[in-house]
Chains A and B, each alone.
Chain A
Amino acid sequence: MNSCALTAHELRDLLRSRQVSAEELAGSVFDQIERVDGVIRAFMTVTKEKALDTARLVDKKIKNGEEIAPLAGIPVAIKDNMCTRGVRTTCSSKILDNFVPPYDATIVERLKAVDAVIIGKTNLDEFAMGSSTENSGFFATHNPWNPDTVPGGSSGGSAASVAADEAVCSLGSDTGGSIRQPAAFCGVVGLKPTYGYVSRYGLIAFASSLDQIGPFTKDVTDCALMLNVLAGHDPKDSTSAEVEAPDFTSFLVNDVKGMKIGIPKEYFNEGIEPEVAAVIRQAIMKFEELGAVCEEMSLPHTEYALPTYYIIAPAEASSNLARYDGVRYGFRADASDMVTMFMKTRSEGFGPEVKRRIMLGTYALSSGYYDAYYLKALKVRTLIRQDFEQAFAKYDVLLSPTTPTPAFRFGDKADNPLSMYMSDICTIPANLAGIPGMSMPCGFVNGLPVGLQLMGRPFDEGKMLRVAYTFEQNTDFHLRKPPLDRVAGAPGTKEV
């Protein structure tokens, strides 16, 4: 097996015992990108030279007998909405086509500080608005399990890169499910931390009260290793929580005996494909077998989460995206006066979904409609939070499907915004409540992965990780690999 197919913790041990070098590992990843990315198209930008430089540095440290961090030498891909100093960062939008950030996002700095090898930037729905990467301003990413289906979104490139062994780990961002939904579609582990746990400094803002950065990994152990690097206070982010992060690997305990798992019945309502619900019910039986106490319960305001989100997120986006005016960076259209310049720049630079959300958000915040839509949505958000507060007084974690269906086909939902929005119906509530959520593979329907979602108390990622780890240790879904032979070496393969 090529080293790119292994997990970070396996590679950590191989690097330390010098059975594989960081340079060989990086080479293996770039070979895989060359082999499959012509079809998968996970990457916007590949940074081969910089990556090999870092890898050689790690090899030197190992040779000199220096202590290295657990993620040293591990190839990591970064969603293209996080700023990387000197490396083009597009947000998959034409309006940032030529943007080269003059600074690193805090999480990029943190990864560099532990000598992780940053291999490139991954494709997303423009400004992270979408659930399929079909809204990317450049090209769509394809699902490694079946290239006729979408990888999910918005962090579709990051999820697909890990599933296709084009990266060992990657970073995504999650505003309404943009880590968990593509993790489910691509059969990998994806975790959205508690709001405020991971710095957003250098993350290009979509909806600031909901956005959160988190990892994609091949298993739960790697997820804990990534969180160890990502979580923690950052003075550069005014919404960063002043909470000390624990060693997340200490929660990797293969035991759920006596733990209380709530099963919110609203997450199994109509709209959830029966085959998906059946796979989740099997997982629930597995947990009972392992000694957990699983109980059906209710989060009564669940059905209001989606409409609440589609007022709040566009409202915040319309304000955040006002900065794209063609003055300081990015695309500028030619015009002889200022207002025409703004209007032409924004109209030519933004794609249709981004314009739709700016319009919706501007309307919801405009005079006369603010109370009816925006303020009303903020109040309903309180009711949704209270549902979770009550639930967590009784349960350690909540368990549900991550998505109502497995990966859908290209074009299936592209013409109907509401039907596309529905694919985030199980993930949006966690963002509104600010609680952590994760998705892990738990079965297959028609050869496509199904994701199991866990949700936890604020700043209690540990319990989720313990439950997920126990499930993983007693099943083998995380070990399955997509059938990539049919896409390998296909025409259009990317030069790196």
Chain B
Amino acid sequence: MKISKEEVEHVALLARLHLSDEEKEMYTGQLNSILEYAGMLNSLDTSGVEPTAHVLPLKNVFREDSTQECIDRELALLNAPQKGEGTFKVPRIV
């Protein structure tokens, strides 16, 4: 599988990254060599092998549905690039 410059552009959009022409060239080459290297995994027969997403035998972790301490609003907004009326402010969407 060879990744094209157009695919790199598509993936950049999915990842919300704006790439310069130079970066597109560079990443196309580098991603291809990394993916080519990853291609060696195909030489292994994994039929019947269960995937491991996680090493611990954990499923869902629950707790009692009770009110607990949390960070107050002012503190939570302290790092906001822009804020107003107790909320995060962002550029106009609609």
Contact = CB atoms under 8 A, between A and B. Distances in A.
**Interface residue tally on B, bucketed by range:** 35 or more
B52 A347 contact: no
B71 A103 contact: yes
A359 B44 contact: no
A100 interface: yes
Contacts of A241: 56, 58
Contact of B51 (A98, A310, A382): A382
A239 B54 contact: yes
Contacts of A352: 23
24 contacts: A100-B78, A102-B79, A209-B55, A304-B44, A310-B34, A327-B80, A327-B88, A336-B91, A337-B93, A338-B90, A340-B91, A341-B90, A355-B27, A358-B15, A359-B8, A363-B11, A363-B35, A375-B51, A376-B42, A378-B52, A380-B44, A417-B30, A418-B34, A418-B37
B89 to A, nearest CB: 9
Q: Sorted from nearest, which 3 A-B pairs have the closest CB atoms?
A: A434-B55, A378-B51, A329-B79
A433 B55 contact: yes
Q: Is the interface of B mostly helix, strand, loop or mixed?
A: loop
B40 A307 contact: yes
A379 B63 CA distance: 32
**Interface residue tally on A, bucketed by range:** 35 or more
Interface string B61-76: 1010000000100011
A344 B50 contact: no
Contact of A328 (B30, B50, B88): B88
Contact of B11 (A100, A341, A362): A362
Given A102-B79, A372-B1, A307 B41 contact: yes
A355 B1 contact: no
B56 to A, nearest CB: 5
B53 A209 contact: yes
Interface string B1-12: 101000110011
B32 to A, nearest CB: 11
Contacts of A303: 40
A112 B31 CA distance: 43
Contacts of B46: 376, 379-380, 383
Nearest to B83: A328
A395 interface: no
Nearest to A335: B91
Given A239-B58, A304-B41, A327-B88, 20 more contacts: A102-B71, A303-B40, A307-B41, A310-B38, A329-B80, A336-B91, A338-B91, A343-B17, A346-B17, A346-B18, A350-B17, A355-B17, A358-B15, A360-B35, A366-B11, A369-B1, A373-B38, A375-B51, A383-B46, A385-B52
